[in-house]
Amino acid sequence: MSTVLCFCLRGIIPGPIEFTDEVLFANAHPSMSHMSPDFARVFGDCIRMTRQLLYSEDAQPFLIAGSGTLGQDQVSANLVEPGENALVLHSGCFADSFADCLQTYGANVDQIKAEIGGAVKEADIENALQAKKYKIVTVTHVDTSSAVLSDIKAIPNVVKRVSPDTLVVVDAVCSVASEEIQMGAWGIDVVLTASQKGLGTPPGLSILVASQKAVQVFENRSTPVTTYYGSWKKWLPVTKAYENNSAAYFATPPVNLIYAFHASLTQIMQGSVSLEQRFKLHQEVSRRVKKAAEEIGFKGVPLSEDVQANGMSALYLPDGFTVSDIVPRLLKKGVVVAGRLHASIKGQ
Amino acid sequence: MSTVLCFCLRGIIPGPIEFTDEVLFANAHPSMSHMSPDFARVFGDCIRMTRQLLYSEDAQPFLIAGSGTLGQDQVSANLVEPGENALVLHSGCFADSFADCLQTYGANVDQIKAEIGGAVKEADIENALQAKKYKIVTVTHVDTSSAVLSDIKAIPNVVKRVSPDTLVVVDAVCSVASEEIQMGAWGIDVVLTASQKGLGTPPGLSILVASQKAVQVFENRSTPVTTYYGSWKKWLPVTKAYENNSAAYFATPPVNLIYAFHASLTQIMQGSVSLEQRFKLHQEVSRRVKKAAEEIGFKGVPLSEDVQANGMSALYLPDGFTVSDIVPRLLKKGVVVAGRLHASIKGQ
Ligand SMILES: Cc1ncc(COP(=O)(O)O)c(C=O)c1O
Ligand SMILES: Cc1ncc(COP(=O)(O)O)c(C=O)c1O
């Protein structure tokens, strides 16, 4: 038994991360009806702040009780019709689950696999898009199994040049609020994430933001949506109502988590540092964590600096050490680590 | 604009209900990894207590981030294969959503509609089951739009007699922990519910319990499961691992809500009154609420006493009054009510 150790900023497991007192206090909010005007305003704020956090003006957020995986479901069942093609860029094992999810809802999936510790190369993406028509391309911003950071600013450019109708979907479960994401300017069509990582809120909230282009593609479907719980046909009117500070119902939202998310977003958006400074700070701290770890003998998993994530670190064990040597020593120092995940580097 | 008013025990809106301090405190639990042994034990306890609450020995609980509606999804996508028949017993509008959900995943749905304020008659169920082979029958234990209580002890008997292979699915979102449900002895195959009503936990947790017969039917499917996020193929190994107090991963569970659920279940199962006494108390309090409401001019929606729910009350407005007369008066007294839902009695 040995493994790759994944460190996450603020916590040191790859999520859930630590919560601030304000967030925990909000999570203990007394019972509120999801149909009450007070709650509708808080929900509306969350929708607006989520959009701002992704530097988007008009994209459509969906906040639903669930986890990050529910975002993969929403994409697969609302944006891809059975029999259509999807291209999955593989930089770690969360691409495998996205591919599995897409196939469950009837997509034909091709994957481009990067080398271990690397991201998929632009030239390979370009070739794939020239060879076949794809409805969507998915990319994992930071894959939690490898800590590889993909270049989600460059990829939409390639896609736009070669295949302008193809939607760019970013799995940002491990990156939102730790890494900069300029959804509007970079031309990203879907950002999907969850509450429990960079957003510092307890797990249980699926957060997905769709560009107006993606919403249009959804609305122009020729076949019915293939999910019920995650159906945008059901959720679009609800999210639009809450955005206007009025309540609507399809399925009960996770009310307390919305209060907690509100507290966390408020701290992120109105804290003492600007969003820009926040991302810079994350970068700096990340470099220091990785440097310190390397000084004591760990080796970072990603091979080159340009693919190193800032919100988390994945490290190879020092030569000659095993997990059973290291973990008890770290535990003694109060450090919790997660051993995981990428099948081909298990045990290192 | 007028409507039916729905009262729920403990709260007075049909959910979410009020939470105890212990539950809120647990919901503010500091960050815990879903992969930690401590959390796995708590999750394991929740699985075992959920089963006990439903008087079942061997049924299989699934606890997933989501809401009650996700339980309808799980049933539709795991137990019914595309093209199979489902019979939906309609005693209020939540049967319409179940029918919609089943159809989304490819089932052929027939509905038997009860009269307003009544439950579906056993003779009608018997006739339907004799006319056609159904994979499942669904019944809403307490429909939140009508407060009608269906007889979920008698219905499985009818099904077993006429069509023993047909699975009996109970939508118990509005009844678990308020009304008695003897899953094992009464022969119920699925009970689906959510955290936010009788269970007194904030919304965000989908709770579903499947009999071993239902699990067998799932395992004998001849076509792949049609959902990803709610797939029992993914969740069965996870729930079995947690039941053995060890962690497993498919998608992140709502960790804090599991702590809150644990606190609530502990209060319900180990409180000063036994489960039996709890259900009796609910009955008594419910009679008193309905009596008091009738004394001031309201009329209960369900027509006969045998279909009156104990966990909630739906009331017609006193003759000559409208919602805009009543709601401000109740609000002044600190009473929040929900106006709702059943299309054909809207405005009364
Ligand atoms: C990159 C990535 N995608 C998807 C997921 C799945 O999210 P969840 O576990 O919240 O369902 C994770 C979870 O760690 C992740 O790191
Ligand atoms: C009887 C019944 N079924 C299903 C649901 C749907 O549950 P949720 O809103 O948690 O998705 C409700 C919600 O009120 C309900 O009362």
Amino acid A347: pLDDT: 53
CB count in 10 Å sphere of residue A322: 13
A343 to chain B, any CB pair closer than 8 A? The answer is no
Amino acid B19: pLDDT: 93
Give the ligand whose atoms come closest to the C-alpha of residue A33. Answer: 2
Reported as a single tens digit per residue, the pLDDT across A149-207 is 999 999 999 999 999 999 999 999 999 999 999 999 999 999 999 999 999 999 999 99
Backbone conformation region of residue A346, classed left if phi is above 0, alpha if psi is from -120 to 50, else beta: beta
A80 φ, ψ (degrees, to nearest 5): -115, 130
B27/A28 touch (CB, cutoff 8 Å), yes or no? yes
B69/A205 touch (CB, cutoff 8 Å), yes or no? no
Average pLDDT for residues B112-140, to the nearest whole number? 97
Amino acid A46: pLDDT: 98
Residue A131, both tokens:
């060879």
pTM: 0.90
CB count in 10 Å sphere of residue A53: 23
- The C-alpha torsion from A280 through A284 and A285 to A290, rounded to 10°, is 140
Give residue A74's pLDDT band: very low, low, confident or very high (50, 70, 90): very high
Residue B288, both tokens:
């008193």
| Cα A97 to chain centroid, rounded | 13
**Which sign, positive or negative, has the C-alpha torsion B94, B100, B105, B107?**
positive
Q: Which residues lie closer than 8 Å to A272 by C-beta, 6 or more apart?
A: none
Highest mean pLDDT range out of A232-236, B292-296, B336-340?
Answer: A232-236
Euclidean distance between CA atoms A249 and A235, whole angstroms: 9
Could you list the beta-strand ranges (E) of chain A: 4-8, 60-65, 85-90, 108-113, 136-140, 142-143, 148-149, 167-171, 190-194, 205-210, 299-300, 312-316, 338-340
Residue B63, both tokens:
């606890």
- The beta-carbon neighbor of A228 closest among B100, B251, B256 is B100
Euclidean distance between CA atoms A262 and A26, whole angstroms: 8
Is the Cβ–Cβ distance between B73 and A227 less than 8 Å? yes
Alpha-carbon radius of gyration of chain A: 20
B69/A229 touch (CB, cutoff 8 Å), yes or no? yes
Residue ranges and CATH numbers for the domains of chain B are 10-18+274-345 (3.90.1150.10), 21-269 (3.40.640.10)
A62 has a pLDDT exceeding 50: yes
Amino acid B302: pLDDT: 59
Cβ–ligand 1 contact at A94 (below 6 Å): yes
Question: How does strand A205-210 pair with strand A190-194?
Answer: antiparallel
Say which residue the tokens 């890494």 belong to: A179
Reported as a single tens digit per residue, the pLDDT across B36-61 is 999 999 999 999 999 999 999 999 99
Cβ–ligand 1 contact at A173 (below 6 Å): yes
Is the Cβ–Cβ distance between A280 and A74 less than 8 Å? no
Question: Which of B162, B166, B187, B190 has its CA nearest to residue B176?
Answer: B190
Question: How does strand A85-90 pair with strand A136-140?
Answer: parallel
Q: Which of A9, A149, A173 to mutate to test the pocket of ligand 1 (most atoms within 8 A of CB)?
A: A173
- The beta-carbon neighbor of B256 closest among A31, A70, A202 is A202
CB contacts of B35 in chain A (<8 Å) are 13, 338
Amino acid B322: pLDDT: 66
Residue B152, both tokens:
């979920």
Q: Which residue has the higher pLDDT, A320 or A3?
A: A320
Question: How does strand A312-316 pair with strand A4-8?
Answer: antiparallel
CA dist A270 to A45, A112, A310, B107, B236, Å? 13, 40, 21, 49, 42
Backbone conformation region of residue B106, classed left if phi is above 0, alpha if psi is from -120 to 50, else beta: left
Number of DSSP helices (H) and strands (E) in chain B, helices first? 12, 13
**pLDDT above 70 coverage of chain B, percent:** 82
Query: Does B16 sit behind a cis peptide bond, omega within 30 degrees of 0 on the bond before it?
Result: yes
Amino acid A333: pLDDT: 59
User: DSSP 3-state helix, strand, coil percentages of chain A (rounded to 5)?
Assistant: 40, 20, 40
Q: What is the number of residues in chain A?
A: 348
- Give the distance (Å) from ligand 2 centre to CA of residue B29: 26
Amino acid B344: pLDDT: 56
Is the Cβ–Cβ distance between B46 and B260 less than 8 Å? no
Query: What strands lie across the sheet with A299-300, from one edge to the other?
Result: A299-300, A312-316, A4-8, A338-340
Give the ligand whose atoms come closest to the C-alpha of residue A206. Answer: 1
Lowest mean pLDDT among A118-127, A227-236, B67-76, B280-289: B280-289
Report yes or no for ipTM above 0.95: no
B105/A31 touch (CB, cutoff 8 Å), yes or no? no
Amino acid A261: pLDDT: 98
Is the Cβ–Cβ distance between A147 and A312 less than 8 Å? yes
Cβ–ligand 1 contact at A231 (below 6 Å): no
β-partners of residue B5 are B315, B339
SS3 B115: coil
B25/A28 touch (CB, cutoff 8 Å), yes or no? yes
Reported as a single tens digit per residue, the pLDDT across B143-178 is 988 899 999 999 999 999 999 999 999 999 999 999
Give residue A1's pLDDT band: very low, low, confident or very high (50, 70, 90): very low
Euclidean distance between CA atoms B257 and B270, whole angstroms: 19
B252/A196 touch (CB, cutoff 8 Å), yes or no? yes
A227/B73 touch (CB, cutoff 8 Å), yes or no? yes
Euclidean distance between CA atoms B151 and A311, whole angstroms: 53
Question: How does strand B136-140 pair with strand B60-65?
Answer: unpaired
**Which sign, positive or negative, has the C-alpha torsion B322, B326, B331, B336?**
negative
Euclidean distance between CA atoms A18 and A10, whole angstroms: 6
Residues 4-63 of A with CB under 8 A from B: 11, 13, 15-19, 24-25, 27-36
Residues 286-315 of B with CB under 8 A from A: none
Q: Which residue has the higher pLDDT, A66 or A304?
A: A66
- Give the distance (Å) from ligand 1 centre to CA of residue A346: 19
B280 has a pLDDT exceeding 80: yes
Query: Does A318 sit behind a cis peptide bond, omega within 30 degrees of 0 on the bond before it?
Result: no
Q: Which residue has the higher pLDDT, B45 or A117?
A: B45
CB contacts of A98 in chain B (<8 Å) are none
B312 has a pLDDT exceeding 80: no
Q: Which of B64, B94, B191 to mutate to test the pocket of ligand 2 (most atoms within 8 A of CB)?
A: B94
A28/B33 touch (CB, cutoff 8 Å), yes or no? no
Amino acid B4: pLDDT: 39
Q: Which residue of A has its CA nearest to B20?
A: A30
Euclidean distance between CA atoms A28 and A22, whole angstroms: 10
CB contacts of A17 in chain B (<8 Å) are 31
**Contacts across the A-B interface (CB distance below 8 Å):** 181
Residues 120-139 of B with CB under 8 A from A: none
Q: Which residues lie closer than 8 Å to B40 by C-beta, 6 or more apart?
A: B241, B242, B245, B246, B247
How far apart are the CA of B105 and the nearest CA of chain A, in angstroms? 7
